[in-house]
Structure 1
Amino acid sequence: MTPEAAAARKAGVELRELQEISDFDRVFHLYDDIWHPDPLNAPVSVEMMRALSHAGNYVAGAFDGDDLVGASVAFLSTPIGESLHSHVTGAVKKGAGYALKLHQRAWALARGLTTVTWTFDPLVRRNAYFNLAKLGARPEEYLREFYGPMADEVNAGDESDRVLAVWRLTSPQALTAASGRPYQPDVPESACRGLIAVEGRPVARVAAERVVLVELPEDIEAVRRADPGAAKAWRLAVRDVLGGMMDEGATVTGFARGGYVVERL
């Protein structure tokens, strides 16, 4: 059984590419239910999904019976003939998002593509774990204020820093993750905690060691609601510590102990 088929079976979903306007309309409403965006700033329109699908790009859904419980939209990217950019993936059933990503991986490999990229908020711990451990992708660029101001319920009031995740589809990390075993990097005892939480707020430390751990809050979305000042402090601290190290050429090798594992050359 292929990895995507095994993941779909475990999640209890059927995965398939979408081509009909009625399906794109269902995806639009699914995303609306997940993110509650400003009506003028939806993640992707029905018309755009139609155009992307017709032009040979990736639009797929996960179904639990007749119910759409997840969807993913991606388009061919540079380097031409090598990469797919995953614009948006969302799911409301446990395991459906993972199954969709493995379906996307198989789709890309079948077309001779070797990488899939996407952006994600580096502050969201569950997404960082999913992308780095469950999938075996790696952040390779820190992008400050990538989308500008955002008006959806999840991101409103925060700055839109993102990291570019690069999923090298046949890398050892990706192959480990596709087998169903989350990828965990080796963390030496000498690793330094370069950013930690103290009473819910970030505290940065001077870290000269080769391997540095950059801790994240357990639930930044809850922090945004309860203490916007603390959420702002976390945004700036992760930008300075993680973004600063990446700007200097350090590599994020995985996610462990509640944070990023970052290695200097």
Structure 2
Amino acid sequence: MSHTYTIRLFETYEDFKQMADLERLIWGIEPIPENQTMIAHKNGGLALGAFQGDQLIGFSYSFAGFRDGHSYLCSHNLGIHPDYQKQGIGDALKKVQRQEAIKLGYSLITWTYDPLESVNGYLNLSKLNGICRTYIEDCYGDMPDSFSEGMPTDRFQIEWHITEDYLDQPNQWSEEGAEMAASWGLNADGILSIDEINIQLEGEKWLVPVPKNFQQIRQTHPQAALQWKKTYRKLFNQLFDAGYTAVKLIKTKDEPVNYYLLVKQEQLSF
């Protein structure tokens, strides 16, 4: 199978129909109607896709946002066909999204993701240099999709400050001197679990463990997955309210978890 592809803005109604079909395939839910996504694209939004010939294999869909006198771009969906995942297409789509958003006059793109999805965290924070200082409880309510069913839909809200020069540099944040905000272990059933540490909120940096494969925990031991959700909700609300910001996801080799790195907000360069 050839893995060559091109990335371009959506141009025809057929492009939006293909996006709807891909949404159904990836998440098993009813997609956003294509007449809505097309109009949003033409009025300050941004829809672009990775195409192999005429076939859409990945897409990024965004709409215009406005709050407190400032406009920004809401990046609502990023989806890759299952046969083409883990090949860097999502990263490539985000980089083109940044370029096109700047052309439209934006300086900020925001989106949400489940903080327990480690792969997404690595892309959003470590590769793209996004930051997070907002935790949204039960963002989407009860979602019936294959990734969220039976779980509260808590989300991190990413801020991607697309005109800042630091985005073009490798993520420079170091975990040196960071303290553990929570510990992980294996419970009596051998399932990965998390325990909150009573943090005093005086440290310079904090580390929070995140499972490398949360979906496996959710599918096989939903109660353990729910405990991760509850602990995350309490812990990150506490950290963000105290002025800390998530800036990186650190991969490990020999542990079943990776780690979020949080620093004081005043350490940010913008």
State TM-score, norm by structure 2: 0.85
Q: Quick one: structure 1 residues 137 and 123, their matched pair in 2 at CA, closer, same or farther if it must change by over 3 Å?
A: same
Distance 1:53 1:111 in 2: 11
**Alignment deviations for residues 103-156 of structure 1 (CA, whole Å, 9 cap, x no partner):** 110001112211111011111111111100111100121101111110111111
**Alignment deviations for residues 14-35 of structure 1 (CA, whole Å, 9 cap, x no partner):** 1111132211111001111111
**SS across alignment from 1:73:** strand
Unaligned 5+ segments in structure 2 are 187-191, 252-257, 266-270
For 1:61, the equivalent position in structure 2 comes to 49
Q: Quick one: structure 1 residues 95 and 136, their matched pair in 2 at CA, closer, same or farther if it must change by over 3 Å?
A: same
**SS across alignment from 1:197:** strand
AA at the equivalent of 1:47: N
Distance 2:40 2:260 in 1: 34
Matched, 1:196 2:188: no
Distance 2:45 2:178 in 1: 42
Q: How does 1:140-219 map to 2 (within 5 A)?
A: 140-176=133-169, 181=170, 183-188=171-176, 190-199=177-186, 200-208=192-200, 209-219=203-213
Distance 2:137 2:53 in 1: 41
How many residues align structurally?
245
State TM-score, norm by structure 1: 0.87
For 2:17, the equivalent position in structure 1 comes to 25
AA at the equivalent of 2:130: A
Matched, 1:250 2:250: no
Runs of at least 4 residues off by over 6 Å: none
Matched, 1:90 2:79: yes
Q: How does 1:105-124 map to 2 (within 5 A)?
A: 105-124=98-117
Distance 1:16 1:112 in 2: 18
AA at the equivalent of 1:231: A
Matched, 1:233 2:221: no
Report the CA distance between 1:162 and its aligned residue: 0.6
**SS across alignment from 1:216:** strand
Over aligned residues, Cα RMSD in angstroms? Answer: 1.7
**Alignment deviations for residues 150-208 of structure 1 (CA, whole Å, 9 cap, x no partner):** 011111111010111000113344212xxxx4x241112x3111123201111111233
Distance 1:77 1:49 in 2: 14
Matched, 1:52 2:40: yes
Distance 1:171 1:195 in 2: 32
For 2:123, the equivalent position in structure 1 comes to 130
**SS across alignment from 1:261:** strand
AA at the equivalent of 1:192: E
**Alignment deviations for residues 222-265 of structure 1 (CA, whole Å, 9 cap, x no partner):** 11101001100100111111222112222222222412111246
Q: Quick one: structure 1 residues 56 and 113, their matched pair in 2 at CA, closer, same or farther if it must change by over 3 Å?
A: closer
**SS across alignment from 1:131:** helix
8 Å CA contact retained: 2:44, 2:104: no
- Percent sequence identity over aligned pairs: 27
Unaligned 5+ segments in structure 1 are 1-10
8 Å CA contact retained: 1:75, 1:87: yes
8 Å CA contact retained: 2:40, 2:64: no
